[in-house]
Amino acid sequence: MYKKNILFISLIILLLIILIIFLFKYKIIDNFDNKMTPKQLKFKECLSDMKKILDKNNQEFFLVYGTLLGQQREKLFIEHDGDIDIGIFKDKFNPDIKDKILESKKFKFRHDFGKLEDSYECTFIHNNGVSIDIFLHYYIDKNYYYAPSFTGLCNNKKEGYCKWSHHINGLKTITFMNEKYKIPSNAHDYLIERYGKDWGVVKKYNYYQGIGGEYKGLLN
Is residue 34 over pLDDT 80?
A: no
The 10s digit of each residue's pLDDT in 114-126 is 999 999 999 999 9
Average pLDDT of the residues in 141-153: 96
The 10s digit of each residue's pLDDT in 71-81 is 999 999 999 99
Per-residue pLDDT, 18 = 75
Per-residue pLDDT, 32 = 44
Task: Give the pLDDT band (50/70/90) at residue 31.
Answer: very low
Is residue 25 over pLDDT 70?
A: no
Per-residue pLDDT, 207 = 94
Per-residue pLDDT, 13 = 79
**Which CATH number does the domain 35-214 belong to among 3.30.1490, 1.10.3470, 2.60.40, 3.30.460?**
3.30.460
For 27-31, 42-46, 195-199, 201-205, which range has the lowest pLDDT when averaged over its residues? Answer: 27-31
How confident is the prediction for the chain on average, in pLDDT? 91
Q: Where are the domains of the chain?
A: 1-30, 35-214
Write the DSSP string, the chain. Answer: -HHHHHHHHHHHHHHHHHHHHHHHHTTSS-STT----HHHHHHHHHHHHHHHHHHHTT---EE-HHHHHHHHHTSS--TT--EEEEEEEGGG--TTHHHHHHHTTSEEEEEEES-TTT--EEEEEETTS-EEEEEEEEEEETTEEEEEE-SGGGGGSTTSSEEEEEE---EEEEEETTEEEEEETTHHHHHHHHH-TTTTS-----HHHIIIIIS--B--
Per-residue pLDDT, 33 = 45
Is residue 154 over pLDDT 60?
A: yes
Is residue 20 over pLDDT 70?
A: no
Task: Give the pLDDT band (50/70/90) at residue 7.
Answer: low
Per-residue pLDDT, 57 = 97
